[in-house]
Amino acid sequence: MVFFTELREYDILYYKENGKQPIQKVRCCSVKTNRTVKDGICRLEQENGRTLAWSESSGVGVLEQDGLFFKDLEKTGELLPYEDWRLPVEARAKDLAGRLTLEEIAGLMLYSPHQAVPPLPFGPFGGTYDGKPYAESGRAPYELSDQQKKFMQEEHIRHILMITVQNAETAAKWSNELQKRAEALPHGIPVNISSDPRNGARGSGAEFKTGGSDVSKWPEGVGFAACFDPEVVRQFAEDASREYRALGITTALGPQIDLCTEPRWMRYIDTLGENVEMTKKMVKAYCDGMQTTENTETGWGRDSVNTMVKHWPGGGTGEGGRDAHYAFGEYAVYPTDNAAEHMKPFTEAAFKLDGPTSSAAAVMPYYTVSWGLDTKNGKNVGNSYSEYLIKDLLREKYAFKGVVCTDWGITQDPAPVIDTFGSRCFNMQDMTEGERCLVAILNGVDQFGGNAEIAPIMEAYRIGCEKIGEAAMRERMELSAARLLKNIFQCGLFEDPYLDPAKSAEIVGCKEFCEHGFDAQHKSVVLLKNRNNCLPLKKGLKIYTPKREIRASKGFMRNDIPAHTEDPVEDAVISKYGTRVGTPEEADAAIVFIESPACNPYSTEDAANGGNGYLPITLQYRPYTAHTAREVSIAGGDFRENFTNRSYRGKTNIAYNESDLDNILDCRKAMGDKPVIVCAAINNPMVVHEFERETDAIVAEFGVSREAVLDIVFGDYEPTGRLPMQLPKDMETVEAQSEDCALDMEPHVDEAGHAYDYGFGMNYSGVIEK
């Protein structure tokens, strides 16, 4: 329905709650409009006003008041403050927060589990349609699953994390289906779709990577650092934000701005490196590029994507390099008391942007227990449960006013065994889930990642009323609701959340963005060694590239991965540069593709045999025995363990991919004087002394395509990248460094006398001047 009133020019005043003092004055007048209907979505464009879009099936109408149009989301027939796009988003969010039931606020405070589009047939990313798997349902891939309908309707969830999706058109249609359903529900609150990074050209094993659809492809985080140019990051962010909005995504779960001062951390490749000043520049470029809509007063608008910087107060200091996705890696340590430097990418960059949006929209604390940082209460608990880290530092000292969202799955009860993917309520296991939620809420946390049920939030509210009173608890919940709604308002979703699937398909992965991404891939590749100027190779040569043999290993979710063989490069890719042959004897050159050594840091077998279960994380291929590791760990202890010393001193570990080294050495032996080129996919700063002198050239990459690497090898692009890290002399050097201190390792020196230190790189003529 459409409501008409007399068209006239007028002044409208908006008042504070006391109704006496005007806070804003807006001049309004009659306007020209253009209304269209396509695929059940009505769109009204108005001169000097916001474009409105709504679903015919949602029951939402349009209000015309004094010559301007507004969506009647509340379906009252009168214009309410939250429906008035002329008001500041803070005022609109506060008004709507006050209208919500406690259940509706609790739903806003949830972030859905990962959603595959369409759902996968089994596992944690599965789903059904009328109880049937997708393959048997006959449904279109963009239709909503039973689970999605339920958590929107019954749990009031409006924040949804999308992972895999078939293509841009499917993503746009799925987004429209979500928005139609949300618009029909009370208050018409749009869905805020989010995504983990999805533009990486090569997925590492560090975390479950988001399905990229057909987006443009760029280096992983530390690859941007290898470019030594924040403008490359800015270009990525501007392009990716356009692609994200075309996919329906309005929140990026990133950038990951942890200073990665611990070289063994499995998430090293996703960071922006360990140099704090360069990281700060890249953080600003990333957040400004993602969040800014040009030619708007506040910087927010239709092209904006909220950034959720992670992980407060810095997750790159896990003791021994272990990761806090797992209870055996829960502790972050600061042996040189350097925690303040790890906060600088947040406090001096993400919270102080140069662009008009001023600050990152959201922050995610890491799972870790930041050992010893709580100087107020002396509590070693997961970061979101730390009053000192969240309330005293993040909220009060650094005055962060945006959304604080926990990392995924921190509130559920722990598993009975320590070697599991979950169990992240670190040192809070004696509380109920509702009690844990209340602790986080009173600290200043607004949202709980990966939770799909409001019951624990409602329990937290009930306990909170008993503790601080009903009025205070309602006020605290409304504050979180207003923060969460603000991020939806500022991206323009309340006015127009709908996409044109055909246009989305044109934008996502368009030629311009793909060219930008491929150029960035080139810029990030580092030439480390070029004996006798053997590179670039001539095209048309006979090339031998050995396959990789990977031992049985553990996956990201601690699942068992059987031993297997991998072909590191497709024949179709090699054929662009030369002819692939089956043996090194018949080749003109060997190109050996390797990855950083990877291993299992925890052994249930060791624990069962009387050990503590902890193993060294090795950055070399051959078996490594930790003779020089700490005798007593800095941090330790778990309710499932009867000890606190997590030391692995004297223990031995071996890389899953030890055969990468064998491939290099075998090629060297078989090739004789013919060149052996190593192309190293570096996820962590690896020990190269095992093979460096057996190679003629080494090319390092940080999450790029094979084509980008081979373009360097064959001269299609002269290398400009430089090391964004140090490559250590040996594992003893790694053990001697401090988890919280940047660039404190002695680097490897190659046969030409070049130190593989931070900032080192070569072009075809020699060492690049810094």
Q: What domains appear along the chain, each with residue ranges and CATH number?
A: 2-87 (no CATH), 94-112+157-165+192-492 (3.20.20.300), 520-598+657-767 (3.40.50.1700), 600-654 (no CATH)
> pLDDT value at position 211?
56
Q: What mean pLDDT comes out for the span 574-584?
A: 97
Q: Tokens 């010893």 — which residue?
A: 372
> pLDDT value at position 205?
46
Backbone angles phi, psi at 408, to 5 degrees: -75, 130
Other C-beta atoms lying within 10 Å of the C-beta of residue 350:
28
- Assign 3-class secondary structure to 13-78: EEECCCCCCEEEEEEECCCCEEEEEECCEEEEEECCCCCEEEECCCCCEEEEECCEEEEECCCCCC
Eight-state DSSP code of residue 392 = I
Q: What mean pLDDT comes out for the span 548-575?
A: 96
Q: Contact at 8 Å (CB) between 261 and 344?
A: no
425, two tokens: 């309520």
pLDDT at 612 over 80: yes
What span, in angstroms and rounded, lies between the C-alpha atoms of 44 and 201? Answer: 39
* Percent composition of the chain: helix, strand, coil (DSSP 3-state, to 5): 30, 20, 50
Residue positions counted in the chain: 770
**Which pLDDT tens digit goes with each residue over 68-127?**
999 999 999 999 999 999 999 999 999 999 999 999 999 999 999 999 999 988 778 899
Q: Contact at 8 Å (CB) between 313 and 372?
A: no
612, two tokens: 């503590």
Least confident of 26-35, 184-193, 424-433: 26-35
Other C-beta atoms lying within 10 Å of the C-beta of residue 341:
18
Please, is 122 exposed, middle or buried when counting C-beta atoms within 10 Å of its C-beta (0-12, 13-18, 19+)?
exposed
pTM over 0.85: yes
pLDDT at 231 over 70: yes
> pLDDT value at position 202?
79
Please, is 126 exposed, middle or buried when counting C-beta atoms within 10 Å of its C-beta (0-12, 13-18, 19+)?
middle
DSSP string, 602-630: B-HHHHHTTS-SB-PPPSSSS-EE-TTS-
What span, in angstroms and rounded, lies between the C-alpha atoms of 270 and 306? Answer: 19
What span, in angstroms and rounded, lies between the C-alpha atoms of 221 and 523? Answer: 13
Q: Tokens 């709507």 — which residue?
A: 96
Q: What mean pLDDT comes out for the span 24-49?
A: 76
Radius of gyration of the chain measured on its C-alpha atoms:
27
35, two tokens: 């209304």
**Which pLDDT tens digit goes with each residue over 240-281?**
999 999 999 999 999 999 999 999 999 999 999 999 999 999
% of the chain at pLDDT higher than 90: 92
Other C-beta atoms lying within 10 Å of the C-beta of residue 58:
21
Quote the distance between the C-alpha of residue 268 and its chain's center: 13
What span, in angstroms and rounded, lies between the C-alpha atoms of 485 and 73? Answer: 14
pLDDT at 25 over 70: no
